[in-house]
């Protein structure tokens, strides 16, 4: 039980951290899109709200820079282990325990458990890119037409900064997104094919 709790805490750190960033960006999008649409607020109030949003966006980027190195290294190891263990699990079942229904059920459960380790972090990493893209659209959707020239110039700078992608890479090699998760499945299948061919060759030689 202690090992399970420890493994769970280690595995959920990356997806929870990325999802936290997603939530912060989503809330920021809602705030930015409402700027200038409240007729009770003056242009100075709207400019002040814009500066607060820019400051919050800067804090989100700082948080992203803090967690990025930790997530980058751990997720790379996580993805490699997922591909290898998934391959060996299927190979072990087909080679040694394929006549047991109980073992089949345990193998399926084991595979789902293995996939549940890498899928959330890839899913939320993909969502982070989508939320970042929505921020630029939200900035444009605010009522910038009726604001001061100073507001509009600041908004342009904010929009340009929001267009810089917040990319999470696993070990600096691959992006953490759903495409990478699919690539891991393909990698696992390729390993399984190689192991099957090698095993068949050894059996035929003997």
pLDDT confidence of residue 200: 62
Q: How confident is the model at residue 202 (pLDDT cuts 50, 70, 90)?
A: very low
What pLDDT is recorded for position 91?
A: 78
Q: Coil, strand or helix: which one is 169?
A: strand
The string over 14-25, giving b where at least 16 C-beta atoms fall within 10 Å of a residue's C-beta and e elsewhere, is bbebbbebbebb
What was the pLDDT predicted at 171?
Answer: 77
* Residue-level pLDDT at 201: 46
8 Å CB contact between 169 and 73? no
Residue showing tokens 């699990």:
89
Q: Is the pLDDT of residue 76 over 60?
A: yes
What DSSP string runs through 113-144?
Answer: HHHHHHHHHHHHHHHHHHHHHHHHHHHHHS--
The domain ranges of the chain are: 2-85+118-197
């Amino acid at each position: 039980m202690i090992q399970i709790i420890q493994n769970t805490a280690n595995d959920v750190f990356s997806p929870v951290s990325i999802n936290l960033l997603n939530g912060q960006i989503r809330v920021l999008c809602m705030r930015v899109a409402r700027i200038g649409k409240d007729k009770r607020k003056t242009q100075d109030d709207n400019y002040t709200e814009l500066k607060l949003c820019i400051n919050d966006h800067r804090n989100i980027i700082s948080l992203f820079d803090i967690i990025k190195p930790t997530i980058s290294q751990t997720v790379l190891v996580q993805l490699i282990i997922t591909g290898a263990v998934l391959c060996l699990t299927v190979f072990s079942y087909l080679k040694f325990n394929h006549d047991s229904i109980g073992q089949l059920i345990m193998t399926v459960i084991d595979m789902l458990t293995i996939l549940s380790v890498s899928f959330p972090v890839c899913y939320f990493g993909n969502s982070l890119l989508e939320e970042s893209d929505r921020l630029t659209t939200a900035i444009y959707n605010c009522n910038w037409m009726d604001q001061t020239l100073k507001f509009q110039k600041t908004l342009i700078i904010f929009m340009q900064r929001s267009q810089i992608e917040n990319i999470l890479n696993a070990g600096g090699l691959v992006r953490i997104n759903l495409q990478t998760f699919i690539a891991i499945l393909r990698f696992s299948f390729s390993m399984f094919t190689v192991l099957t061919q090698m095993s068949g060759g050894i059996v035929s030689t003997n």
